[in-house]
Amino acid sequence: MLPQAEDIEGSIFIMRGLRVMLSTHLAALYNVEPRALVQAVKRNRERFPGDFMFQLTAAEWVNLKSQIVILNS
């Protein structure tokens, strides 16, 4: 079953001025384990744009958690 647009939109967050998805959400869309997705990207960096994946800072993680709480309220 394909995910609904609302489900995908609810998994998109704003970080560094960009619309991003967490690896856990993206992996769920492709029905793979998050670690498998991250490993595939790391092994095939040339297939992905340079800004496809980045590591959140501690402050960004706190901000993201607050966005998630607001969405779930």
Total residues belonging to the chain: 73
CA dist., res. 31 & res. 37, Å (int): 10
pLDDT in tens, 13-43: 888 888 888 888 899 888 999 999 999 988 9
- Contacting residues for 58 by C-beta, under 8 A, at least 6 apart: none
Residue 17: what pLDDT? 87
Q: Is the pLDDT of residue 70 over 70?
A: no
Q: Is the pLDDT of residue 73 over 60?
A: no
Strand partners, 13: 20
